[in-house]
Amino acid sequence: MSAETELRELMCLLAKSMFDRGLTGGSTGNISARTSDGGLLVSPTGSSFGRLDPGRLSRFDAAGRHIGGDKPTKEMPLHSAFYDTRSSAGAVVHLHSCHAVALSLTPDADEDCFLPPLTPYGVMKLGKVKLLPYFRPGDPAMGEAVRGLAGKRSAVMLANHGPVVAGKDIEAACNAIEELEDTARLALLTRGMAPRMLTSAQLADLVEHFDVEWTA
């Protein structure tokens, strides 16, 4: 089995796992991964994470030309923005996960640090998450907003829409976006309860020990 075939199957397996657990429903969400030749595999437009076909994933070459598979997601500008501004990005995942979206609707949502520092893994896997304003789905302005961050964030939250996370590979990106949803859920569950967050000293220790992107 070739490396690309393995990657195709892994993308579909991880997408189905997230769909089966209710992290994104219907035909929402999109996923992409860098291939060994510098190209991309991307979920097709209108496809369901629960029923992705490895053989029908959109295929791009290293120059960004669509060379095979179905028509890609309309949110390609969002994916391209992460790949173009973060050299470490090997995969990008976008979900419409309910708790993260719900947290983005709250009037006091923090634009610079969307997720409160409740757990170490939320900090370690995501760094500081930027809350971006609402954009019409598929609007190229979403990609421009990500480019405006100059590669300083690995995760953003699109208000009223859903999270987007870039990772070093497909497994890292999926693990990180699941951590984002879990942290958003914790934030909502403890809302109004004055939860004990990580102290500034504990946060600083995590940032230093795990080389977390936190100051941008």
* HEC sequence for 86-110: CCCCCEEEECCCHHHHHHHCCCCCC
Residue 60: per-residue pLDDT: 98
Pairing type for strands 58-60 and 162-167 reads: unpaired
pLDDT of residue 74: 95
pLDDT above 90 (res 216): no
The H-or-E segment that residue 155 falls in is strand 155-158
Percent of the chain predicted with pLDDT > 70? 100
pLDDT tens figures, 53-91: 999 999 999 999 999 999 999 999 999 999 999 999 999
Q: For the chain, what is the mean pLDDT?
A: 97
pLDDT for 215 beyond 90: no
Percentage helix, strand, coil for the chain under 3-state DSSP, each rounded to 5? 40, 15, 45
Q: Which class is 3-209 in CATH?
A: alpha beta
- Structure confidence at residue 1 (pLDDT): 76
Tens-place pLDDT, residues 110-120: 999 999 999 99
Residues whose CB falls within 8 Å of the CB of residue 17, separated by 6 or more in sequence, listed in order: 174
pLDDT, average across residues 21-40: 97
Question: What percentage of the chain has pLDDT greater than the value 90?
Answer: 98
Residues tagged active-site: 75, 121
The pair of three-digit structure tokens given for residue 95, joined into one six-digit string: 């979900």
| 134 dihedral zone (left: phi>0; alpha: psi -120 to 50; beta) | beta
pLDDT tens-digit profile of 153-177? 999 999 999 999 999 999 999 999 9
User: Using CB atoms within 10 A of its CB, is residue 192 exposed (0-12), middle (13-18) or buried (19+)?
Assistant: exposed
Q: What global pTM score does this model have?
A: 0.96
